[in-house]
Structure 1
Amino acid sequence: MSFLKIENLNKSFGDTQVLKGIDLEIEEGGFLVLVGPSGCGKSTLLNTIAGLENITSGKISIGGRVVNDLHPSERDIAMVFQSYALYPNMTVRQNVAFGMEIRKVPKPERERAIQSVAETLQIAHLLDRKPSQLSGGQRQRVAMGRALVRDPQVFLFDEPLSNLDAKLRVDMRTEIKRLHQKMGTTIVYVTHDQIEAMTLATRIAVLRDGLLQQFGTPTEIYNRPANIFVADFMGSPSMNLIPAKLKKNGTALAIEIATGDASVTLPLSGENGALNSHAGQEVIFGVRPEALFEIGEAEAHKGQTARFIAPIEVVEPAGADTFAVTHLGGKAVVARLGADTGITPGTTAELAVNLDKAVFFDPKTEQRIG
């Protein structure tokens, strides 16, 4: 049963429509990540859930109760902001306790809640310090602690890690995931970082220009993107999107990709469903870098594979992986190879592609075929 449900939500600022018919729902204890480029409407959507922005039309329900007209204080939510929003003249203890004092929670109960949250977030030794004496990661833990003592129905996070350096972001991401697994509270989390979205979410909503592009599990979003935008936005490196032509190959189909004066033909086997109706037409052939590999790695890739010769232009060692750049269909194409590959730039290499991992898009509508 849905715990947080958003139905046909629209939000306009004057004549500018920022959210356009958003439909989302998440089960109790779920972790919903709203992701998309800057200006796509994800923070506005979060603010409408919080009650910080009124909606133009639609419905928001939390725990089966419609909250459209409820004040933020009546929605039983807690929010963690990007800026931490700590009181500089208060100690950590006072910052965490402030909301409980306003609600007149008895002091013994406040102290128990503070101690419990401080131990959970590993900030017990910081309780008597002021925010100016803390690192960015410690301040973010305090901001989270202030939300946790509320014990709300829903936690709202608005890009909480964007002010942290790269290593600390990874560490805090792990802490947030551990916290969610321990407490099981429903979370809605805004980020523009698609790696953050993939690692944290049980469900992802991809937004663009106020429209919901796709809503699904991280696996669905990554492996079966609904359109070219989602395919390109989610994943690092992003999906290779290669102009190609679908051709009849006997009773089956094949993909023909231009490579300079020649072409590469990759045969498809098995049932091709909706692809059959696009035979003879131009398509966009989408394949993730990890589905392009050296012939010697073929045993690790189960499924339908096809081989081709590729001129290697750039090789980028990246620790556990090596990224090799070639060209297909007039586009730069990235293959994720092993760390110990012998491939060098300026040479040719025989690569294979796992066609079971491929997806196809209509170049006119940009929607996935099938």
Structure 2
Amino acid sequence: MSFLDIDKATKSYGAVRVLNETDISVEEGEFLVLVGPSGCGKSTLLNMIAGLEGVSSGEIRIRDRRMNDIKPADRNIAMVFQSYALYPNMTVRSNISFGMEMHGVRKAKREEKIAEIAELLQLTPFLDRKPGQLSGGQRQRVAMGRALTRDPDVFLFDEPLSNLDAKLRVDMRTEIKKLHQKLGTTIVYVTHDQIEALTLSTRIAVMFGGEVQQLGTPQEIYDNPTNMFVAGFMGSPAMNLLPATLRDAEGGVAVELALPDSSYISLPFPRGATLSGQDGRAIVLGIRPEAMTDPESADAESPAIHQAELSIDVIEPAGSDTYVTVSLCGKDAIGRFRANTSARAGARFPFSFDMAKAVAFDPETEQRID
């Protein structure tokens, strides 16, 4: 039995089912991120764990205790919201201590806890300020500090960084990760930002259409997406998904990719060994931009680097990398090159494909097939 068990949890509003028989088990101390586009059911699931939404069928258990009929206040969970939900007329000190006051905690104990949390979250200089005098990141830390006073079984974060600008989001991601590493708390965190999911989590549940599409570690999700939705959603830039054709080749299988001039390139596909004997089968080849790079940047230890010269359409310098767009199989495909590449738009240039990192999908079911 896990620390938090979501067992065939379903949520319906009348005839409309928004969450379908979801099964997730979370171990104590884990950082689980629920990620997916708007309307996928991730916030609904979080609210069901919190008790803010009822469970239509199935169970939610914390420490093997059934939560379905337990009031939110009695679940020993703490929630941090997107909107901070701070009292604007109270100081930081009062916002952090408010919950302890409501539960009758002695003043000396409250002050000790406030000092401890303020030091942990670097809020000590701001204890006598009001929320309107703080930056967005500082206000989010106050909201986290208020939650920390509870010493809860589970922390729930509902898109806490979505109101912050890009730099503050990066800074706060680091703060939240440090907090988890220091306290070892169990966290369930909702976001639509796949970079947050990959950088913060110990495991990710990728959701779409009210269902968990894939549950795994960040590396598993990134390297071995279970279907085309996960492949296209996780990663920035996203995985290239290219209509291709399998060809039997000497010693194994190759994939054939169409070029704009109606010619083809053929690339050996070592991960497709189980697909031999299916010459002419249509697949969708998935390959990450970093596995489609300039020869100098290719992984020297990979056993499956293969080169092809392609005509470049667009060059996008991005500081530490350069993104290079070419036309393959009637689609734009993006490669990740080194910053000082000599590649130029309109010119032909050698690309190194790391086919050990490529995956194949069925174009009809959109499921991975290799």
Fold agreement, TM-score > 0.5: yes
Structure 1 contact 293–335 (Cα < 8 Å) conserved: yes
Amino acid of the structure 2 residue aligned with 1:290: E
Corresponding residue for 1:151? 151
Aligned residue for 1:256, secondary structure, equals strand
Please tell me whether residue 266 in structure 1 is matched to residue 270 in structure 2: no
Alpha-carbon distance, 1:63 to partner: 1.5
The residue type paired with residue 281 of structure 1 is R
1:186-219 C-alpha deviation (Å, 9 max, x unpaired): 0000000000000000000011010110000000
2:348 counterpart residue number: 348
What is the CA distance between 1:251 and its match in structure 2? 4.3
Structure-2 residue corresponding to 1:162: 162
Aligned counterparts of 1:202 and 1:296: Cα–Cα separation in 2: 32
The alignment partner of 2:3 has SS state of strand
Question: Counterparts in 2 of 1:1-370, with a 5 A limit?
Answer: 2-260=2-260, 261-269=262-270, 272-276=272-276, 278-298=278-298, 300-370=300-370
Q: Once the 2 structures are TM-superposed, how far is the Cα of residue 163 of structure 1 from its aligned partner? A: 0.4
How far apart are residue 277 of structure 1 and its match? 6.1
Write the distance in 2 (CA, Å) between the matches of 1:102 and 1:153: 19
* Aligned residue type for 1:294: D
2-side partners of 1:329 and 1:234: how far apart? 22
Q: 1:111 to 1:274 in 2, by over 3 A?
A: same
> For the Cα contact (< 8 Å) 1:301–1:354, is it kept in 2?
no
* Ranges in structure 2 where 5+ consecutive residues have no aligned partner: none
* Amino acid across the alignment from 1:41: G
Note if contact 2:292-2:353 (Cα within 8 Å) is conserved in structure 1: yes
Distance 1:102 1:310 in 2: 67
SS in 2 for 1:300: coil
What secondary structure does 2:276 align onto?
helix
Per the TM alignment, residue 273 of structure 1 is displaced from its structure 2 partner at its CA by: 4.3
Q: Distance in 2 between matches of 1:299 and 1:267?
A: 16
Q: Compared with structure 1, are the counterparts of its residues 278 and 85 closer, same or farther at alpha carbon in structure 2 (3 Å cutoff)?
A: farther
Read off the aligned partner of 1:143 and give its amino acid letter. Answer: A
1:274 offset after TM fit, Å?
A: 3.4
- After TM superposition, the structure 1 stretch with the greater mean CA deviation from structure 2, 121-130 or 180-189, is 121-130
Q: How far apart are residue 112 of structure 1 and its match?
A: 0.7
* Cα distance in structure 1, aligned partners of 2:200 and 2:49: 20
Task: Say which SS state the counterpart of residue 274 (structure 1) adopts.
Answer: helix
CA distance in 2, matches of 1:296, 1:135: 43
Shift of 1:52: 0.5
Structure 2 counterpart of 1:268, which letter? F
Kindly tell me the number of residue pairs found equivalent between the two proteins: 369
What does the per-residue CA deviation read over 1:95-119, in whole Å, with 9 as the maximum and x for residues that have no partner? 1111111111111111111110011
Structure 2 CA distance for partners of 1:62 and 1:238, relative to 1, 3 Å: same
Task: Note the C-alpha offset of 1:125.
Answer: 1.2
Q: Which runs of 5+ in 1 are unaligned?
A: none
AA of the residue aligned to 1:31: F
Between the aligned partners of 1:167 and 1:228, the Cα distance in structure 2 is: 30
Q: How far is the alpha carbon of 1:278 from its aligned partner?
A: 4.2
Residues 274 and 369 in structure 1, CA contact (< 8 A), matched pair in contact too: no
> Share of identical aligned residues, percent?
58
Q: Deviations for 1:1-49, whole angstroms, at most 9, x for unmatched residues?
A: 5211101110011221110011111110000000000111111000000
Q: Structure 2: which amino acid aligns with 1:331? A: K
Residues 208 and 298 from structure 1, CA distance in 2 versus in 1: closer, same or farther, beyond 3 angstroms? closer
> Aligned equivalents of 2:159 and 2:201: distance in 1?
14
- 2-side partners of 1:50 and 1:276: how far apart? 49
